[in-house]
């Protein structure tokens, strides 16, 4: 389940009883992040069980990471697009090796909102969300912690300050953390709109060269870090969902590469235009395939291929395999099929 730690020891895992209890706690909190005291109580309880006592100490951050990852997964299920993309019916792009590079962002589309004092105001009902004064819409943010270089959801913006030298800063409280974990964050470099968990049908929007937020697991911690997609191995989807694999390099450690499934990737909101283009193309194909009003059949449309190459599970992408095999040890281990 993810990248083993570089020292070769097995990655930390919760057992079934612990997962069941944490799922119940999350349900009691309506999928909101529980308070620190609740997470610390769970860590102490799990550490004191027969299976772990004297062997493994469950840390607060490991509990927090589980809740954070679970909430991301639930968001992905709740933020479903109006319709599923039929990948096999997408029109052929101009460059089949780089499917979406030929699709330009819509120039007339909405511009990203900059978080400045005169545009953004705190939402009175949701303190971790900012409201745009122009269209009264709500935006959610994430911030990069200086303590570990990982990205966390912002629960609230507490204060801001303008320095004589350098960029302005905001004081943030991270979701699930208390006042002692508050940080002053550089607004321009380390605060941004929240990354979006990927639906199974959205793998076509994740391309080589993209900046993504990727869930990196280790023995002692599992955190969300910036990563760059180096390559993608497209596989045919099945009842379990997306089976594609992505080779990524983490930005905080340029030597770390890993092959990850889609469920560990959160894409940036700037890639939404790709899905809009694909949905529009799928809608056009569906409309063209409808029978004519007078009952006469239209001429058959030319067979179109997928917008991304679909590779059967037993066929490997040579470039991806070569890139992965070049890494020492097990740092580029493929996620087992049963863990998705």
Q: Distances from the Cα of 248 to the Cαs of 131, 167, 264, 269, 331, in angstroms? A: 33, 30, 11, 19, 11
Per-residue pLDDT of the chain (340 residues; tens, 9 = 90+): 233 333 344 556 788 889 899 999 999 988 888 888 899 899 999 999 988 888 888 888 888 878 877 887 777 666 544 444 444 434 333 344 443 333 334 433 333 333 333 334 444 433 444 443 334 445 689 999 998 899 999 989 999 999 888 889 999 999 888 888 899 999 999 999 999 988 888 999 999 999 999 988 877 678 899 999 999 999 999 888 899 999 999 998 877 789 999 999 999 999 988 888 888 887 778 778 766 565 555 555 444 444 444 344 444 455 554 444 444 443 434 344 444 4
Who's near 174: CB < 8 A, 6+ residues apart? Answer: 143, 145, 152, 153, 154, 155, 181, 182, 183
- Residue 1 to residue 337: CA distance in whole angstroms: 9
- Residue 17 to residue 6: CA distance in whole angstroms: 28
φ, ψ (nearest 5 deg) of residue 80? -75, 145
Query: Domains of the chain, with CATH numbers?
Result: 16-77 (1.10.10), 84-105+196-271+308-339 (2.30.30.140), 120-193 (2.40.50.40)
CA atoms within 13 Å, Cβ hemisphere of 332: 19
Count of C-beta atoms within a 10 Å radius of residue 322: 11
Count of C-beta atoms within a 10 Å radius of residue 331: 16
Sheet strand arrangement including 245-250: 196-197, 265-267, 211-217, 222-233, 245-250, 257-261
- CB burial readout 101-128, b (16+ within 10 A) else e: eebeeeeeeeeebebeeeebeeeeeeeb
Q: 334: helix, coil or strand?
A: coil
- Residue 47 to residue 54: CA distance in whole angstroms: 8
Read off the DSSP letter of residue 339: G
pLDDT at 339: 42
């Amino acid at each position: 389940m993810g990248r083993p730690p570089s020292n070769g020891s097995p990655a930390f895992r919760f057992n079934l009883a612990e997962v069941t209890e944490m799922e119940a706690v999350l349900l009691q909190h309506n999928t909101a992040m529980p308070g620190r005291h609740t997470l610390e109580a769970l860590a102490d309880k799990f550490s004191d069980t027969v299976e772990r006592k004297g062997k493994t100490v469950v840390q607060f951050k490991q509990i927090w990471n589980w809740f954070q990852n679970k909430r991301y997964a639930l968001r992905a299920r709740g933020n479903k697009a109006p319709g599923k993309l039929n990948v096999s019916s997408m029109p052929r792009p101009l460059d089949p090796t780089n499917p979406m590079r030929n699709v330009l962002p819509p120039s007339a589309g909405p511009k990203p909102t900059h978080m400045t004092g005169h545009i953004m105001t705190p939402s009175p009902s949701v303190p971790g969300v900012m409201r745009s004064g122009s269209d009264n819409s709500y935006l959610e943010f994430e911030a990069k912690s200086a303590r570990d270089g990982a990205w966390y959801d912002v629960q609230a913006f507490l204060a801001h300050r303008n320095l004589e030298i350098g960029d302005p800063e905001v004081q943030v409280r991270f979701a699930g953390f208390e006042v002692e974990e508050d940080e002053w964050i550089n607004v321009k470099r380390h605060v941004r709109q929240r990354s979006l968990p990927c639906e199974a049908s959205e793998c076509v929007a994740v391309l080589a060269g993209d900046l993504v937020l990727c869930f990196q697991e280790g023995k002692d911690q599992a955190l969300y870090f910036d990563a760059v997609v180096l390559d993608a191995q497209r596989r045919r989807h099945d009842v379990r969902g997306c089976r594609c694999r992505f080779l990524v390099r983490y930005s905080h450690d340029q030597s770390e590469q890993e092959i990850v499934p889609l469920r560990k990737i959160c894409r940036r909101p700037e890639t939404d235009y790709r899905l809009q283009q694909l949905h529009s193309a799928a809608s056009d194909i569906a409309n063209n395939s409808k029978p004519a009003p007078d009952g006469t059949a239209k001429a058959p449309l030319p067979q179109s291929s997928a917008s991304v190459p679909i590779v059967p599970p037993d066929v490997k992408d040579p470039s991806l395999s070569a890139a992965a095999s070049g890494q020492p040890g097990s740092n580029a281990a493929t996620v087992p099929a049963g863990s998705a």
